[in-house]
Structures are given as C-alpha cells and as structure tokens.
A and B are shown apart, each in its own frame.
Chain A
C-alpha cells in the first residue's frame, strides 16, 4: 500500500531547510529507496515516493512556514539537478500507475506555482526531462553555467514518449517560447546550455558558480516591515484506520462496497464554531477547516493508487446543517485572516484534485446532510447529484462558493455549471445563507435529481450500479470532457493534453511494445518503430 503521509524527519530524498525567510528544498535521491521494485533512482531521478515528499514539503512550507518568501530548489548531487522520472520505473509500471503518477506529479508542480513563496530553481549540472519540468514549475530558473550544465526535454528523442509533467505546455504558455524553437529543443537529446538557453528564455539567469551567492541575495526580496508574518501551524501525522472494507479518519468515514465498485464517503461537518479567527488559528491542524481538507486529500490519493477498481465515489456529508452554516459564515467573515485564507486554499486544491480524479462522482444529499461552505462544493464536483425530497434542508450556498474555490479552468464550480445560464448565478446572492430543501435547490439548478423517499433507494442504487456497468475507460474520458467546461488555462491544457496525448503514447507499441523505446531504453537495444502516422 502506498502511504502519502510523511514528515520532513522521515524524508529519504529531500531535505527541507528553513532559515527565516528563505527555505531550501534540497534533492538528494536515495537510489535504493524506491516505491516499486526492479529499478534504482540514479542521478536524482524520481518515482512517486520522491514526489510524495515534495508535495508534503510544499504543503508544510505554506502552512507551517508562512514566513518563507523564497524557496531555493537545488540538488545535493554533483553535476546533476534532476534526471526526471525514472525510466526503469516507468517501463515496469502498470499503465494505471503511470497515469496516476503523472497526475500526482503534475498536481504537485501546479501547487508549487500556486504557493505564495517565490520558487527559485538552481540548476547545477543537468536538468533533463522531469528534472527540467521541475525547474519550469519554479518562478525563476538559474542555470549555473559550468560549460556542461544543460536543460533538456529528451523524451521524444530517447524514449518515444512526451514530457509528462507539463513541460511542453509550460515552454509555450508559461515561458512563451516560440514554437519552432520549442520544437527544436524538444527533439534534442542533449538539450541546450549556456547563453542559448538564456537567449531562448529556457532559463532566467546564466551565471558562473562563483557569482551564484550574490545573484541569490538579489533574488530574495527585502523583509517587508508592514505586515507581521503569522505563526505557522504544525501538521501532525493524520490518524486513519484502514481495514478491508472501511477507512476511518476523524472527520471522514469511508465504506468500500467492492461488489458495486463504490467508495461511500461521508464527511462529518463541524460540531462547534470557534469564537474568533485567532481561536481557529489556535486550534492549529485540529481545526475542522484544516483537518477535514487534509483527510479528504489523503483519502483521494489513497483511493487513486490503492483502490483502482472502486470506480465510483459517493459523496455524502453528515452533521448539523445550522452549525456547518454558522462555521461557513464565520469563515466568510474572517477571510482576511491568514489561517482562513490558507484553509480555504487547502480546500481549493483538494477539491481540484477531486475534479481530476478519474472516478465517477455522485453526491447524495439526504437526512442529516450538511453541505455548507466548502462541503457544498462537493455537490458541484460531482458528475451527478441526488437530493432527497422530504422537506428537510441539506445545503446552503455562500459567497465563498462563487470565488473561493475556482476549478483549474479558472471558474468557480457554479460558474462552470451555469456556463449556459449565467442569469442563474445572479439568482444566488438572494439565497446566500439560506438552508435549502430539495425543491428549492432543484429550482435553482443546484442539483440533478430530487427523488422522494419512495424512489430514493432505487434511484441512487440504479445510478451507482449503472455506472458500474459501463466501461471504466469510457467513463473516465467522458467525465473529464464534461467536467472542464469553458475557458482553457495552462492547468487544464496540461491535464487535457496529458490525458489525451501522453496517455495515448503510453499505450502505443512505439513506446511500450516489446520493441518500443521505453521498453528498450537502457538495454542497449534500439527501438523499432511502426512507421505509420496515426
């Protein structure tokens, strides 16, 4: 079982050093410490285990070390920054693992870009493939030019696959590199170094090692004297109990219905409301806001990697709606406070991860539901929702639902939902804070179906079992198409292209067939390509 819980004290591959406003993330991959078997993580190459630590470090930098304004990402290994995803791991992994590995690493890269601190990649030696993509995800790339250091995306030339962590898209969309230059760069096994890397905007600074220190000093902004930085909170290890057919966290309960291929997820609403933002801050990682988001995040990752055959997630909540709404109202009032902002952002990232999860999502709103605030988003994350029509209320819309949790397409889930009926969004402010029953929610277009008590069990059961009868591949593709409506952003392009092109290439014989480049890499045998264009 792959466990996503870790702590800097237990990292095998990264070191997180914090020195007041400057943190260092130092990559020194332990080549023997692998998630799978049959490969070694040479040259600072990575597998999921390395990325789990990186993701953990990025979360801690935000929540535990808010004083950090600059993060230096560097390698402890001589003459190599990072060689990217390990080829032996990719060649030996199942398709399912490869796809989910890429998805997770992409989320981690986007979360780096999302973090308030400025990330500076210090590339000493080679940054190849995923290594350069790691640098591309930083805000600034410094190439320490020793005459040999290069950046490269050699996937096409060497492996017959694509850069899997957004490299192509970041070249053209983030760094605005001309497409003909990008084309040339992406076919060069050996990459580009020195002045040309700078001229083409592949990096931001090219300097000799002896001048690195003074450059870094100039990149770290002066301490701002105006706002005192908040105190970070400790992130303790999540408690959970995993048994054969259940997973229990303090705020999240899951029953695994293997026969129907459903994970029934119940999120418990808050039971009390802190008296002030400071009091909420004082609860540290035990606050409902932080703890529940962390647990849900961990659960999504766990299900993705460890429970691939549970194709549907039923999303439920349980608790006192009035308390959940009071909690949400308080969050609305405290949104200028650091812990609330970070807490809502943590929910935003977690919900975005759920959007990107290749499982059917069905939300059910029934007796004792408390879909308010962040929890209400689950209804619109879902591919379909059911609200029991028995005159009980179960959900509340709040202002935060229009602006606190944008999806990766840049729109709120409600704006995405009402792309064709923008007037619906205008109706919502009148309902802010109102506990809604099924009929009203249906009238507002907020839910899909509202069966009554007589039909409820059958309707929900049928929806779930029908889902279980379709092709999982077709469902994954269909859901991904329908979920991300409207405008494209760099993030949606990255994931869309990852799903469409990379995952296609990952299935093609030219990459993974017995004579394919990925399979033959490192054996010394040359790939033998099927020549037809598709």
Chain B
C-alpha cells in the first residue's frame, strides 16, 4: 500500500502522525471517503479550481487559508479547538468533576449514538446538494456551495475521527456505515427526515443553509458543552465553519428578496400578490418565498425530536449534551426541580404547560433555535421595509406541518390555529410550495457562469468573500 503522508495530506492538530492506531483506522477509511466524495459529492466539477478556504490550524489565520483547489484534492483536516486543562464538566450529575478525555464506559452507547446521528447529517447535505452546481446563479454562489460542501465533508471527518479514535471496532463500523447510507435512498436512507428531502433548486439550498444548518448549529452548540472533552473541542471548531453556512443562507435569501423588490419597484408593482406579473420579471414572488420558508422551518423543527425526550434528559444528566449556552445560564445546571414552559395541544387549543425541565430539553433547544430564526427573518423584513413593499415574511407557528412530537400530523395552520374542519393535508397543500411554485422556481434555475454576472432572481452580494470583489473568478470551471 502506498504510504500517505498524513500530516501533509490531512492537516491536523491531533498528532495524527504519531498515533498508529488512528492512522491505521483512517488508512482504511480514507479510500472509502474519497470514493464517496467522487460518487456523491458535487456532480461534474471535480476538475474545476475553486477558490476555497482550507483549515490548516485552529487560530483565526489558520482556518481561513484561501486558495484555488480542485475539490477531490481538498485537504480535509482534523481539528480540535484549543483545550483547557482545568476544564470541568458544566452540568448534569457529574457537574464540577474534571472533563473526560476518554469515553466513560457507562455512557459509551449514548455518546456513540450522539456522534452517529450528528455525523450522518454531514454527508447527507452534500448528497442532497450535489446537482446544484449545474444551475448556479453565479460563480460566487457556486463557490459558496462548494465551500459548504467541502466543510460538511470535513465535519464528517471530525465525527469519524472521534468514532475511530475513541470507540474501537464499533466506532470503525459506524464510520463505514456513515459512507454507505444515502440521502433519500429507499434502501439506506439517512437517519433524519429532513436529510432525505430533496434540495432541488437554489432557493431550497439557501433555505436549507439558513434553517437546517442552523439546527446543526444548535446541536453543535449543545455538544460543545459536553463533558467529553474531545467532542466539545471538535464541535467548537466546527461551529466556526457552520457560521459561514448560515451566512450563505441568510445572505442568499436576502439577495433573492433584493432582486424581487428592486424588480417590483422598477416595474412599479405595489401588490406583492400580483404573482404572475412579478414572476414575468424573472424574480421570485414573496408569497412563494413564504411557502418555501414554511416548509424548511417546519421540517427543520422536526430535527429537534419530540418535546419530551428521555434520550435528551439522559444525555444531559450524563453530562454529554448540554443546553444552548449552558455555561452562560445562571441556574444549578442539574434541573432536578426546574420546570420549562412547553406548548401542548389540549383539545382544540394550544396551551403552555410547565413541565420538568430535564425532560423537555428538546423543546428548549428548539425554542432557542426558533428565536434565532426569527431574528434572521427580521433582517429580511428590513429589506422589504426599505424597499417600501407592503409584505412581511413570518415564521409559521411551531405546530404547523409537523411530523414529529406534540403536533405530529395535527391540523395547525401557520398562525397557530388548530383546525377542526380542515385536514393536515389540506393545510399543507395551502401553505407549502405547490407543484406550480416549484416548477416556476425550477424554470429560473439557469446557470450563470460568467464572471461578475448574476441570475435575474438574485442580487449581487455587497461584499464577496476574502475581500474579493463580486466579479472575482471564484471558480475556474475548466481548470
């Protein structure tokens, strides 16, 4: 076998070169990973040179090294945020004890499951997005897509590193299995629902990076609190990259709104519901945008699981998965008697009930997430406000279009009204993108590969990345 110089090929700060066991495990896994990337990574751009950042270290300089690189040659690295030798477990029954550097035996299964579920989402989104390159609205967006893709690939590496380094044979098997499941595959689907949905167009992509990657952020934030130190340090570093993905989503939707509003203003259309006229301008009407938002927000909420969860409670009590910003919360970090208000269905009404906080951690994390989403929506609405368009985007009620938890298959509309006479399916048909919406959006999806050009339906960015102008050649398509 050809020896791989791991320290060169795999940038890392985990002393890979001197860890024989880990090296052997990665040697076995690495060809399978490259094979997966070539099969399931971005379709058709393996020879293109993409202006990507590569993490080569954990300081701010190290993780923002920009250069042209062919994606299959991307140097996926393994990084842990700097450790603190004094760090103590911050919550649960072991609060105050030194953090674990090895997996505690009694929590091995629980911890492994957390890693596998998190790890499974990372390659899934790459698979979901693999055909989008063919319809990119600009080279800039194409680069952003690829940046997101290679970093999701690196996040898979991060989880695989933990599985292989700390979980022995089981960990190696799980790492293999992460490469064999496929998004949307009938036989071997990805583990979570939203990661088996299609990302058929760029509007979906931006929505996905805003809403679904933000679920990832909250899960990572909760894991960054972990008493298992290698997990905490790994996820802290992943979060620095995740922020960019959400930026892609938020700025992407923002630019879609800008294109729409400026086209409406130019054509002197005040009525946001004059859908046909607006669409004829080659931009996406706001009601369609709202329906896409309804879909992506609701399926992302499902990723938080049922409101009450014994798994989440166990993981908290064990000190493995905390709350968002656990270290900033001022309480006992035990939740022995604390309560938390949870939305519940009571007959035809949605009521708030105080429930043992430990058992409804999923609901709490979901609420934190929804607040964060609401702030992003506010920023989008500012664009509408500035343009003088009388339309505001809103987050649907958390009970709308849910497949998981308290409101599973309940006929709750986006306002939070529980319907008696209207079915779940009818509400969904009214408030989610219609076939016609999707066909219209698909019709706009024509590639724009000229430097500095942007599709009609999306505005140019105010600033691009790495202080480059918008007409920078972000992707050299043919090497």
Q: B93's contact among A188, A209, A526, by CB below 8 Å, is which?
A: A526
Whether A146 and B188, one on each chain, are in contact in the complex, defined by CB atoms closer than 8 angstroms, is yes
Q: Which residue among A145, A146, A188, A524 has the maximum number of chain B CB atoms within 10 Å of its CB?
A: A524
Q: B187's contact among A42, A87, A157, A210, by CB below 8 Å, is which?
A: A210
Within 8 A of B (CB), among A110-163: 145-148, 157
Whether B359 and A147, one on each chain, are in contact in the complex, defined by CB atoms closer than 8 angstroms, is no
Q: Which residue among A157, A189, A208, A525 has the maximum number of chain B CB atoms within 10 Å of its CB?
A: A525
Whether A147 and B93, one on each chain, are in contact in the complex, defined by CB atoms closer than 8 angstroms, is no
User: Shortest CB–CB separation between residue A284 and chain B, in angstroms?
Assistant: 40
| 7 A-B pairs with C-beta separation under 8 A | A145-B188, A210-B186, A210-B187, A523-B358, A524-B312, A524-B313, A525-B93
Render A312-330 as a binary contact track against B, CB cut-off 8 A, 1 for contact. Answer: 0000000000000000000
Whether A188 and B187, one on each chain, are in contact in the complex, defined by CB atoms closer than 8 angstroms, is no
Whether B317 and A208, one on each chain, are in contact in the complex, defined by CB atoms closer than 8 angstroms, is no
Given A42-B306, A147-B180, A189-B110, the answer on whether A525 and B188 have CB atoms closer than 8 Å is no
Whether A190 and B188, one on each chain, are in contact in the complex, defined by CB atoms closer than 8 angstroms, is no
| Interface class of chain B by DSSP | helix
Interchain CA distance A210-B313 in the complex, whole Å: 36
Render B171-207 as a binary contact track against A, CB cut-off 8 A, 1 for contact. Answer: 0000001001100001111010000000000000000
B155 beta carbon closer than 8 Å to chain A: no
B335 beta carbon closer than 8 Å to chain A: yes
A522 beta carbon closer than 8 Å to chain B: yes
Whether A524 and B187, one on each chain, are in contact in the complex, defined by CB atoms closer than 8 angstroms, is no
A521 beta carbon closer than 8 Å to chain B: yes
Q: Which residues of chain B are within 8 angstroms of A209 by Cβ–Cβ distance?
A: 186-187
Whether A521 and B180, one on each chain, are in contact in the complex, defined by CB atoms closer than 8 angstroms, is no
Given A146-B188, A147-B181, A210-B186, the answer on whether A526 and B109 have CB atoms closer than 8 Å is no
User: Shortest CB–CB separation between residue A190 and chain B, in angstroms?
Assistant: 5
Q: Which residues of chain B are within 8 angstroms of A42 by Cβ–Cβ distance?
A: 306
B237 beta carbon closer than 8 Å to chain A: no
Sample of 20 more A-B contacts, CB < 8 Å, known A146-B181, A524-B335 = A42-B306, A87-B310, A146-B189, A147-B181, A147-B188, A147-B189, A157-B109, A189-B109, A189-B110, A208-B187, A209-B186, A523-B310, A523-B358, A523-B359, A524-B310, A524-B312, A524-B313, A524-B314, A524-B316, A525-B358
Interchain CA distance A208-B187 in the complex, whole Å: 5
B57 beta carbon closer than 8 Å to chain A: no
Q: Which residue of B lies closest to A87 (CB)?
A: B310
Whether B112 and A524, one on each chain, are in contact in the complex, defined by CB atoms closer than 8 angstroms, is no
Interchain CA distance A208-B186 in the complex, whole Å: 8
Q: Which residues of chain A are within 8 angstroms of B78 by Cβ–Cβ distance?
A: none
Whether A523 and B356, one on each chain, are in contact in the complex, defined by CB atoms closer than 8 angstroms, is yes
Given A147-B180, A188-B109, A526-B318, the answer on whether A521 and B188 have CB atoms closer than 8 Å is no
Q: Which residues of chain B are within 8 angstroms of A87 by Cβ–Cβ distance?
A: 310
B113 beta carbon closer than 8 Å to chain A: yes
Render B251-290 as a binary contact track against A, CB cut-off 8 A, 1 for contact. Answer: 0000000000000000000000000000000000000000
Interchain CA distance A424-B317 in the complex, whole Å: 65
Within 8 A of B (CB), among A519-534: 521-526
Interchain CA distance A10-B407 in the complex, whole Å: 25
Q: Which residue of A lies closest to B181 (CB)?
A: A147
| Nearest 5 CB-CB pairings of A with B | A524-B313, A208-B187, A522-B310, A524-B358, A189-B109
Whether B188 and A208, one on each chain, are in contact in the complex, defined by CB atoms closer than 8 angstroms, is yes
Render A177-198 as a binary contact track against B, CB cut-off 8 A, 1 for contact. Answer: 0000000000011100000000
In the complex, how many residues of chain A place their beta carbon closer than 8 angstroms to a beta carbon of chain B?
Answer: 19
Interface residues on B, range: 20 to 34
Whether A522 and B187, one on each chain, are in contact in the complex, defined by CB atoms closer than 8 angstroms, is no
Render B89-115 as a binary contact track against A, CB cut-off 8 A, 1 for contact. Answer: 000010000000000000001101100
Q: Which residues of chain A are within 8 angstroms of B189 by Cβ–Cβ distance?
A: 146-148
Q: Which residue of B lies closest to A524 (CB)?
A: B313
User: Shortest CB–CB separation between residue B167 and chain A, in angstroms?
Assistant: 12
Given A523-B313, A524-B335, the answer on whether A148 and B191 have CB atoms closer than 8 Å is yes
Interchain CA distance A362-B49 in the complex, whole Å: 89
Given A157-B109, A190-B113, the answer on whether A521 and B187 have CB atoms closer than 8 Å is no
Interchain CA distance A146-B109 in the complex, whole Å: 20
Q: Which residues of chain A are within 8 angstroms of B336 by Cβ–Cβ distance?
A: 525
Render A69-104 as a binary contact track against B, CB cut-off 8 A, 1 for contact. Answer: 000000000000000000100000000000000000
Given A147-B188, A526-B317, the answer on whether A521 and B310 have CB atoms closer than 8 Å is yes
Whether B110 and A524, one on each chain, are in contact in the complex, defined by CB atoms closer than 8 angstroms, is no
Interchain CA distance A519-B252 in the complex, whole Å: 50
Interchain CA distance A12-B113 in the complex, whole Å: 32
Q: Which residue among A87, A209, A522 has the maximum number of chain B CB atoms within 10 Å of its CB?
A: A522
Q: Which residues of chain A are within 8 angstroms of B188 by Cβ–Cβ distance?
A: 145-147, 208
Q: Which residues of chain A are within 8 angstroms of B316 by Cβ–Cβ distance?
A: 524
User: Shortest CB–CB separation between residue B106 and chain A, in angstroms?
Assistant: 8
Q: Which residue of A lies closest to B182 (CB)?
A: A147
Q: Which residues of chain A are within 8 angstroms of B191 by Cβ–Cβ distance?
A: 148
Given A523-B359, A526-B93, the answer on whether A147 and B177 have CB atoms closer than 8 Å is yes
Whether B187 and A146, one on each chain, are in contact in the complex, defined by CB atoms closer than 8 angstroms, is yes
Q: Which residue among A42, A157, A190 has the maximum number of chain B CB atoms within 10 Å of its CB?
A: A190
User: Shortest CB–CB separation between residue B97 and chain A, in angstroms?
Assistant: 13
User: Shortest CB–CB separation between residue A197 and chain B, in angstroms?
Assistant: 13
User: Shortest CB–CB separation between residue B442 and chain A, in angstroms?
Assistant: 27
User: Shortest CB–CB separation between residue B261 and chain A, in angstroms?
Assistant: 40
Whether A190 and B112, one on each chain, are in contact in the complex, defined by CB atoms closer than 8 angstroms, is yes
User: Shortest CB–CB separation between residue A527 and chain B, in angstroms?
Assistant: 10
Interchain CA distance A148-B119 in the complex, whole Å: 13
